[in-house]
Amino acid sequence: MATLVLFHSALGLTEGMSQLAAQFSDAGHAVHTPDYYEGNVFDTVDAGIAYRDEVGFPELAKKAASLIEDLEGPLVFGGWSLGAAMAQSMGKRDPRASGALLFHAGGVPKKTSWQAGVPLQIHYAIGDEWIDAGAPELLVASVAEAGANAAQFVYPGDAHLFTDPSAPEYDEDLACLLMARVQSFLAEEVDRDRP
């Protein structure tokens, strides 16, 4: 089984995020959920983004990294929305990375470097206004060109945090489909080379 580091969205480490983490734990994975918002939780994305901007993304990224510095690899980095930016950065640079899971965000404005042994999945809704057009495709191409498997899953609708049970846009059917794809990824991509 995998060891996962799951970074929360701009809403903070909500009850919904804890429920999502529990799904991975229930499947037998070790799960870490660093609270880089230090207990701050928000009801709306706008409020969460305002807090992000107040603290500053670089400072939040530093905090997130410090919370997991003592963890031993290999690690699968996953993140929701704002947290996907953290997971993407770790997948690209952290030598402990064995996989990256980006939910409701992810991508690059131009092709970038990536670690050859770090497979990637990106999941988002086709009409999600937080997704920059073409950015996920460029990241997927970058990962594949680096020699790692990469997959992009696009879901119907325009909901942003459709996997978060505490979010108003939660969609149980889509969330279950996404989770099934992620569990396959963990079994086929991350665990396949382990004894």
| Alpha carbon distance 116, 148 (integer Å) | 5
Domains and CATH numbers, the chain: 3-190 (3.40.50.1820)
- pLDDT at position 152: 97
> How do residues 124-150 score in pLDDT, each as one tens digit?
999 999 999 999 999 999 999 999 999
**pTM passes above 0.85:** yes
- pLDDT at position 81: 96
Please identify every stretch of the chain with a pLDDT value under 50, giving residue numbers as ranges.
193-195
- pLDDT at position 27: 94
| Alpha carbon distance 12, 47 (integer Å) | 10
- pLDDT at position 194: 46
Contact 75, 3 (CB under 8 A): yes
